[in-house]
Amino acid sequence: MKQCFMVWAAVVSGALSAASPVVAGTIDTAWLERAWPGQREHTYEVGKAEVHWRQKVSAQEGIFAGARFIAPLELERTWRLSSDYSDLGAMTPGVTAVRVLEHTPTRQVIEVDVKVLWKSVRLYFEMEQEPPEALRFRMNTPALGDYLGVARLRPVSPGQTEIKLSTWLSPPARVPRGLVIWIERGAILGGIRNFLKTCEHASPT
């Protein structure tokens, strides 16, 4: 059960509208990784792990969401699991098809078909990878603008890796931002729960 929890969250958020094909180019997330003025923080228990959550909801600046947690595997194995999208369709409700349009060691483009209630949409995700320490993604939609995310991985002790995820999105004005952050928080925490289960199954017995 391999899954990239970042893409799962993006699928849920991106299903608000159809997406346009991605445009090649460096994904800038340096501004996203800093502290967000006025951010709110909370700690959640997800399975056996603590997830440190942060968020900021602004009508002018958009929606910022982030999570930090410890994966119970060494850096290289955590990286392989977090950057594997092979089971995204099977693990993500509403996903009907996943196609890899481009694949190199440092860049991937993924096309995802999603059905939400009566609506079917096609989403395009561009991934930039710096193995085994960073993964950035971008999804461009006419209605949402850019949906950006970055995950940083670093070893914290033998057999443990910290993952720090930061995302930003700007929903349409007609969509209540409180509803969007509620959906996104549930999607990210649910994805982390499944990811940690995958790590446990991959751990030596």
pLDDT of 156? 97
Block means of pLDDT (10 residues each) for the chain, 205 residues, are: 54 51 71 95 95 96 95 94 70 74 87 73 84 88 72 95 93 81 87 88 72
Cβ proximity of 146 and 170 under 8 Å: yes
Cβ proximity of 83 and 198 under 8 Å: no
pLDDT of 54? 98
Residue type, 39: Q
Strands 145-157 and 160-169: antiparallel
Tokens 């017995």: give the residue.
Answer: 205
Strand, coil or helix: 94: coil
- For the stretch 126-145, pLDDT in tens is 889 999 999 998 887 665 55
Q: How many CA atoms lie within 13 A of 93 on its CB side?
A: 8
The model carries a pTM of 0.84
pLDDT of 87? 63
pLDDT of 153? 96
